[in-house]
Chains A and B, each alone.
Chain A
Amino acid sequence: MKAYLTLVVAGIAALIALPFVFSQGLVNAAIQMLIAALFASAYNLLCGQAGMLSFGHAAYFGVGAFATVHAMNGVGGSGLLPTPLLPLAGAVCGLAFGGFAGWFATKRTGTYFAMITLAIAELMHSLAPHLKGLFGGEAGVSAMRMPAWGFDFGSATQVYYLTLAWVLISLTLLFLYTKTPMGRLTYGLRENSHRLRFLGYNVHGLGVSVFAISAMFSGIAGGLQVINNESANYVLFDPSLSTAVVLNTYIGGVNVFLGPALGAALMTFFGYAVSDLTRSWLLYQGILFVLVMMYMPTGLAGLFGNAKRLRQQFGIARLAPVFVFAIAGALLLSAGGAFIVEFLQRLFSQEYRAIANLSAGAAMPPIPLFGQTWSPASLTTWFVPAALLVVGGIFAYFSRQRLIAIEHAVDTAMASETIQIASKGNIA
């Protein structure tokens, strides 16, 4: 617990120091990461802690965003509230709309719940462009950040600190919520809602409250997004935003409080860094998600937790080869996968087809990739990724076998110890 706290304090210190170290572009990316982290944590309250899988959380993000943009334009353009308090407008509208939508959605559970949230989000998405007065039509609504409290909010750094403050406060509140009696009941909703009902709790009321609170924090995230962009558009209701938050949350891991925030920040940074390099970064995101679902159901945070548990159980010395092989295997597999995806993407791109058509009849022109040129017809081109994948697979397999062997060895040692103790007892 103490180590965890130290880690969090160090993380916060690093976040505060960030604008002094990095360029404005990266500060902008960091703002996006913080907003995504808050959105994912708000989503996780509903999905991970209360066990209600929502497929339409963009609706509450969008409502918060539009509430904030209207608050910014309120009172003749000078703002309903001072700029630092504007996300409160998002919070209030998110809470209200979340309470309303949640009242309907939480009447059902499981798949039906997911379907209702999806329907509500689609309803918003298809209505928003037609309601010009409220959502500004296709063009959206724009606003200006007004100076307040001695800050002019003209630079990305000031917006960053504002976002950071809001995200830290919100995450703290969300964390403290899990410690309250109601927070514990939220877990009960996930584990066994029937039992809660028999114990006399108002399960529907509890569900609506959790839904509304989750929507409220999503609304804050939407409000922060608007303060950063100074505009809002009906695209905020797009299903892809709802999709992204589900992917981020599960990649991060739903069982650990900071897991979704970690996942969202990492995936947003991944998108920022990789979307310039490749067109297929959404494909990587999808593959990563499916791999996490299949092999690491507890997400990245769960992976760290597992590694820690293993280290405590068996000691670092015995596990070092396992970890080395696992990491090497993962690196090789991702290198091979990335090679194939990138190569195929270039091979099937329109530009390449145009070039190939120009020199019709001749051999297919080579493709530049990773600082080298590869001919699609040559065997080596296909051998490289195949070798990477095979060797990576062998490493992964070996790491797994090694882990099983260690666990087995410890089990037998413990068993024989028990037998010895038992036999000694007999003699005595």
Chain B
Amino acid sequence: MDQIIVSLLNGIIYGLLLFMVSAGLTLIFGMMGVLNFAHASFYMLGAYFAYTLQGTIGFWAAIVLAPVLVGGIGVVVERFFLRKVHHHGHAHELLLTFGLSFIIAESIKLFFGNYPVDYRVPNALDFSAFTIGGMQYPMYRLLMGGVAIAMFIVIYLLLTRTRVGIVVRSAIYKPHMAEALGHNVPMVFMGVFGVGAALAGLAGAVAGAFYTTNPNMALELGVMVFVVVVVGGLGSLGGAMLSSIIIGIITSLAVGVDASVADLFAYFGAGEWARSIGGLMTLKLSSMSATIPFALMLLILLVRPSGLMGEKA
């Protein structure tokens, strides 16, 4: 039972981390129709910037400054790269961000080497919050979850309760109308892109200290973030939150399940037959935990292409 509670908690917090990264992605997609392949690279940049900065200015200042720097890079990417190829169409923009993600990953390898760097939780935060059944639960995990929840609330309030939010939402749904009403839509795009990048950078800066910071972290998370955004519904913030937590919990719980499809058949008396087939039938659910999100995404795309909470399809 304790085991389940711990993995449930771990799953929720991993889900919240996924949300932090995918929030910016889903906003950018909803707005510009561009699926930004470099988004997980911003997450990685956040971790590396925070790692580099914490040596000189301390952990907290690094966590604040790293997202700002990443946001700046996001603005540059939008202004000087994406906007230039905009007239070639969406496929071209997609490919450009794809190339940029490649360059960012290789540049990180150039400067920091092709191995994990020693970015870790500061001693002041490295204690356990509570104990469940003899297992100590690290405080830092709760902190990561807290940052993500705070971020969700802030973005939600910003988008729904402020004037800036109105302009941003109108630019998402009716860019031409917003432009006709005198709002600087390209500027809004640039701002949203920068903020989205900064959010991913924040996620990287916070999570990099807990998970490993290595040049492959963008690749590992990148595909998962797409899964989150597609399952939740492209452009939907609430959907991103929902699907991140679902995916976090599913992957985390599946690791502990030692059953296979054949066991399911055994209930109906067909266990022997299923086991004799082998292959997919006898594969343990625990070893498939990395596969489940992709299967879920395929299912969603085929059954409900607009995602759980998406409006546009």
B92 partner residues in chain A, CB cutoff 8 A: 293, 297
Is A321 located at the chain interface by the 8 A CB criterion? no
Asked whether, in the complex, the Cβ of B111 is within 8 Å of the Cβ of A127, the reply is no
Asked whether, in the complex, the Cβ of B106 is within 8 Å of the Cβ of A108, the reply is no
Asked whether, in the complex, the Cβ of B96 is within 8 Å of the Cβ of A294, the reply is yes
Interface residues of B in 108-155 (CB under 8 A from A): 109-113
Q: Name A118's contact: one of B107, B223, B290 (CB within 8 Å).
A: B223
Is A115 located at the chain interface by the 8 A CB criterion? yes
Which of chain A's residues has its CB closest to B278's CB? A133
Among the interface residues A119, A243, A282, A286, which one has the most CB atoms of the partner chain B within 10 A?
A119
Asked whether, in the complex, the Cβ of B91 is within 8 Å of the Cβ of A283, the reply is no
B280 partner residues in chain A, CB cutoff 8 A: 127, 131
Is B47 located at the chain interface by the 8 A CB criterion? no
A119–B33 CA distance with the chains assembled, in angstroms:
20
Q: Give the Cβ gap from A412 to chain B, nearest Cβ, in Å.
A: 27
Asked whether, in the complex, the Cβ of B288 is within 8 Å of the Cβ of A130, the reply is yes
Is A318 located at the chain interface by the 8 A CB criterion? no
B102 partner residues in chain A, CB cutoff 8 A: 243, 247, 282, 285-286, 289
Is B100 located at the chain interface by the 8 A CB criterion? yes
Asked whether, in the complex, the Cβ of B110 is within 8 Å of the Cβ of A280, the reply is yes
Which of chain B's residues has its CB closest to A134's CB? B279
Asked whether, in the complex, the Cβ of A127 is within 8 Å of the Cβ of B288, the reply is yes
Is A112 located at the chain interface by the 8 A CB criterion? yes
Is B98 located at the chain interface by the 8 A CB criterion? yes
Is A187 located at the chain interface by the 8 A CB criterion? no
A349–B223 CA distance with the chains assembled, in angstroms:
29
With A131-B283, A283-B103, A287-B103 as contacts: A246 and B110 at CB distance below 8 Å:
no
Asked whether, in the complex, the Cβ of A297 is within 8 Å of the Cβ of B88, the reply is yes
Q: Give the Cβ gap from B93 to chain A, nearest Cβ, in Å.
A: 9
Asked whether, in the complex, the Cβ of A116 is within 8 Å of the Cβ of B301, the reply is yes
A108–B96 CA distance with the chains assembled, in angstroms:
22
Is B302 located at the chain interface by the 8 A CB criterion? yes
Q: Name B279's contact: one of A120, A133, A282, A289 (CB within 8 Å).
A: A133
Among the interface residues B35, B90, B92, B223, which one has the most CB atoms of the partner chain A within 10 A?
B223
Q: Give the Cβ gap from A286 to chain B, nearest Cβ, in Å.
A: 4
User: Which segment of B53-61, B170-178, B265-273, B292-300 sits at the interface?
Assistant: B292-300
Q: Give the Cβ gap from A255 to chain B, nearest Cβ, in Å.
A: 12
Q: Give the Cβ gap from B181 to chain A, nearest Cβ, in Å.
A: 28
Is A110 located at the chain interface by the 8 A CB criterion? yes
A199–B223 CA distance with the chains assembled, in angstroms:
38
A290 partner residues in chain B, CB cutoff 8 A: 81, 96, 99-100, 103
Q: Give the Cβ gap from B148 to chain A, nearest Cβ, in Å.
A: 24
A348–B108 CA distance with the chains assembled, in angstroms:
11
Asked whether, in the complex, the Cβ of A344 is within 8 Å of the Cβ of B111, the reply is yes
B95 partner residues in chain A, CB cutoff 8 A: 53, 246, 250, 293
Asked whether, in the complex, the Cβ of A294 is within 8 Å of the Cβ of B84, the reply is yes
Is B254 located at the chain interface by the 8 A CB criterion? no
A239 partner residues in chain B, CB cutoff 8 A: 219, 223
With A119-B301, A250-B95, A283-B107 as contacts: A297 and B85 at CB distance below 8 Å:
yes
Where chain B touches its partner, the secondary structure class is helix
B159 partner residues in chain A, CB cutoff 8 A: none
Q: Chain A, 257-289, contact with B by CB distance < 8 Å: what is the 0/1 string?
A: 000000000000000000000001011011101
B288 partner residues in chain A, CB cutoff 8 A: 126-127, 130
Among the interface residues B99, B288, B302, which one has the most CB atoms of the partner chain A within 10 A?
B99
A122 partner residues in chain B, CB cutoff 8 A: 223, 294
A271–B295 CA distance with the chains assembled, in angstroms:
35
Is B291 located at the chain interface by the 8 A CB criterion? yes
Q: Name A348's contact: one of B90, B99, B111, B290 (CB within 8 Å).
A: B111
Asked whether, in the complex, the Cβ of A115 is within 8 Å of the Cβ of B295, the reply is no
Is B227 located at the chain interface by the 8 A CB criterion? yes
With A126-B290, A293-B92 as contacts: A116 and B298 at CB distance below 8 Å:
yes
With A286-B102, A286-B103 as contacts: A108 and B85 at CB distance below 8 Å:
no
Q: Give the Cβ gap from B129 to chain A, nearest Cβ, in Å.
A: 32
Asked whether, in the complex, the Cβ of B112 is within 8 Å of the Cβ of A348, the reply is yes
Is B73 located at the chain interface by the 8 A CB criterion? no
B109 partner residues in chain A, CB cutoff 8 A: 280, 283
B219 partner residues in chain A, CB cutoff 8 A: 239
Asked whether, in the complex, the Cβ of A123 is within 8 Å of the Cβ of B302, the reply is no
Interface residues of B in 276-313 (CB under 8 A from A): 278-280, 283, 287-288, 290-291, 294-295, 297-298, 301-302, 305
Is B68 located at the chain interface by the 8 A CB criterion? no
Which of chain B's residues has its CB closest to A110's CB? B90
A341–B295 CA distance with the chains assembled, in angstroms:
40
A239–B105 CA distance with the chains assembled, in angstroms:
14
Asked whether, in the complex, the Cβ of A119 is within 8 Å of the Cβ of B298, the reply is yes
Q: Give the Cβ gap from B255 to chain A, nearest Cβ, in Å.
A: 13
A243–B95 CA distance with the chains assembled, in angstroms:
10
Is A197 located at the chain interface by the 8 A CB criterion? no
Q: Give the Cβ gap from A253 to chain B, nearest Cβ, in Å.
A: 13
Is B51 located at the chain interface by the 8 A CB criterion? no
Which of chain B's residues has its CB closest to A129's CB? B287
Is B19 located at the chain interface by the 8 A CB criterion? no
Which of chain B's residues has its CB closest to A123's CB? B294
Asked whether, in the complex, the Cβ of A123 is within 8 Å of the Cβ of B298, the reply is yes
Asked whether, in the complex, the Cβ of A282 is within 8 Å of the Cβ of B287, the reply is no
User: Given A133-B278, A297-B88, list of 15 further CB < 8 A pairs?
Assistant: A51-B91, A108-B305, A111-B29, A111-B234, A115-B301, A118-B226, A119-B227, A126-B288, A130-B283, A283-B106, A286-B102, A286-B106, A287-B103, A294-B96, A344-B111
List 5 interface pairs A-B (beta carbons < 8 Å), by A numbering: A114-B94, A126-B288, A127-B288, A280-B106, A287-B103
A residues apposed to B, CB below 8 Å: 51, 53, 104, 107-108, 110-112, 114-116, 118-120, 122-123, 126-127, 130-131, 133-134, 239, 243, 246-247, 250, 280, 282-283, 285-287, 289-290, 293-294, 297, 341, 344-345, 348-350
Query: Which 7 pairs of residues, A with B, have the shortest CB-CB distance?
Result: A286-B102, A283-B106, A290-B99, A286-B103, A289-B99, A126-B290, A126-B291
B residues apposed to A, CB below 8 Å: 29, 33, 35, 81, 84-85, 88, 90-92, 94-96, 98-100, 102-103, 106-107, 109-113, 219, 223, 226-227, 230, 234, 278-280, 283, 287-288, 290-291, 294-295, 297-298, 301-302, 305
